[in-house]
Chains A and B, each alone.
Chain A
Amino acid sequence: MRSVCRWGAIAKRPGVARLALATLIACAAISWAIGDARAEDEVSKGETDKPDAGATETDAAPAKPVRLEDTARKRATLETAAYTDSNNVSVLTPSVGFGIENVAGGAALRGSYLVDVVSAASPDIVSTASRRWSEVRQAGTLNAAYKPRDLGLNVAASFSNEPDYLSYGGGGGINHDFDEKNLTLSFGFGFSRDTIGRHGTPFSVFSREVNRGSFQGGAAWVVNPSTLASLSLDVVVENGDQSKPYRYIPMFTPADAAQAQRGASLDWVTSHRLPERPLEQLPLNRSRFALSTRLAHRFEISTLKLDERVYLDSWGLFGSTSDARWIFDVGKRFGIGPHGRFHVQNAVSFWQRAYVATPAPLWNLPEFRTGDRELGPLWTATGGLATAVYLGGSSEPSTWALRLQVDGMYTSFLDDLYVTSRTGVIGTLSVEAEL
């Protein structure tokens, strides 16, 4: 939920690329080892099941041990995402995910781990004359679910860690199938605690706590033999000071503020702002609401997925996000199709392109002030292409899948200093395997 500049604080971390590479290698080794163990298992199973040609029915040999069939489905995903944009931000995100599901027993365990390697010289911090910086974030999730029949329960835990930001969370949920699984209702809740600090300063010296409670209610149902739909409502309540401890906000006299143009240059801001630069200050509470729908339809040789989210919060932000994916089958082993996304939002109620303050000694500051562009008015159009190659056996080719997706993103900032737009590219390469 943090902006690109929120991706990290000022930090120089030599060796981050080596850490990411080591993580990838470790994940690949685990996947290889699991696959190898499974192969050995099958060899030994074959030997155990082999009939004994020399034995007769009258032999009083003890009964052969019966091997129970392993009904567990194991899935692993290895993914690397890379992002770069015209604001000199680049992000490399390798991640690994796994899932073990016992279809017969209804139990499932899923987990994921990722590393964000961020490098940036964002205009957000240009005004503070910051150098280019890089940072590593690690995040993980673990989810356990049990659904022997129509009623299911699940619990989840997550963590995220970077030099100046720490987050732990947990939650649970309940869901119930109705009408032969034509309808599923679900309800979930979660709680997380974030600790915001400053790089190089222990949390014991400086830190802020942000508590976050989240609730989700949803329904998913089978519309017809080719269509699935879902609807969910998210409510998130946040308490605490989320203000960025590095973000200084330029202040202007009323006359200069009126002259501040959209995209005003760093030089103009530097020459016209007041000498004092207060830190960002956001409201201490925020309630967020999102209503989301999804429709997935299977045509004869293609699958269309449509998502729409409408969002509003107590800071006055209102936004809409639409997402569409259409994947066409090209034979049994290849899929390709377009992806599009459009996001538009207004500004929070306390947003100002140029904030007005009374110069010292009166020093009358606006109570709330921010330079976070993601709290201002903007729209983003995203478009690209997704491909999938299925490498599994002939009966189920999709048990092994190699996916590549590349998207271009264009954002127009409608009422900001420094920048008016951002152009970015994001590429994702992933391998999914059923082991």
Chain B
Amino acid sequence: MVKLIAVALALIFAVGCTHVAPYERGRLAHPSMTTGGRGAGESHVYAVHEGTTGGGEVAESGCGCN
């Protein structure tokens, strides 16, 4: 488990953490970046059909919109 977390962290942070100024976030503010996710009914079907759980939205999700 620890190895798994370490690999995931390494992969994701390897993507880079470029500083993006607020005025450069026009694309990130596109509605499709923040909407159109799973609805309540669909989420419930997956929750019922899969023996696993977790992975909800992270609070404020990076907030690239303003």
Contacts and interface: CB of A to CB of B under 8 A. Distances in A.
A159 B45 CA distance: 18
A138 to B, nearest CB: 12
Interface residues of B, number: 51
Nearest to B22: A180
Given A216-B56, A321-B52, A222 B64 contact: yes
Nearest to B4: A310
Contacts of A374: 48-51
Contact of B12 (A229, A288, A348): A229
A234 B54 contact: yes
Contact of B39 (A3, A81, A298, A319): A81
Nearest to B43: A81
Contact of A223 (B17, B39, B50): B17
Contact of B61 (A184, A380, A388): A184
Contacts of B37: 305
Interface stretch (A9-17, A27-35, A44-52, A401-409): A401-409
A144 B32 CA distance: 24
Interface stretch (A53-61, A171-179, A249-257, A275-283): A171-179
Nearest to A335: B32
A428 B39 contact: yes
Contacts of A81: 39-42, 44-45
Contacts of B51: 317, 319, 345, 348, 374-375, 378
A-B pairs with lowest CB-CB distance, top 10? A81-B41, A290-B54, A292-B55, A234-B54, A93-B41, A220-B62, A218-B58, A311-B52, A186-B59, A398-B31
Contacts of A72: none
Q: Which residue, of B4, B9, B52, has the highest number of chain A Cβ atoms within 10 A?
A: B52
Contacts of B16: 223-224
B31 to A, nearest CB: 4
Interface residues of A, number: 98
Nearest to B54: A290
Interface in A157-176: 173, 175
Interface in A176-214: 177, 179-184, 186, 188
Contact of B55 (A173, A232, A335, A401): A232
Interface of B: 1, 4-5, 8-9, 12, 15-22, 24-28, 30-33, 35-37, 39-42, 44-56, 58-64, 66
Given A224-B16, A327-B32, A426-B45, 4 more contacts: A95-B39, A227-B15, A234-B56, A298-B30
Interface string A392-435: 00000010010101010101000000000000001010101000
B62 A221 contact: yes
Contact of B53 (A77, A236, A380): A236
A225 B49 contact: no
A352 B14 CA distance: 42
29 contacts: A81-B39, A114-B40, A179-B19, A184-B58, A216-B58, A218-B59, A222-B20, A225-B24, A225-B26, A225-B27, A228-B64, A229-B62, A232-B55, A234-B53, A236-B53, A288-B54, A289-B54, A291-B5, A303-B33, A307-B55, A309-B54, A321-B50, A325-B36, A335-B36, A341-B46, A378-B51, A380-B50, A403-B36, A428-B42
A349 interface: no
A335 B32 CA distance: 9
A344 B66 CA distance: 38
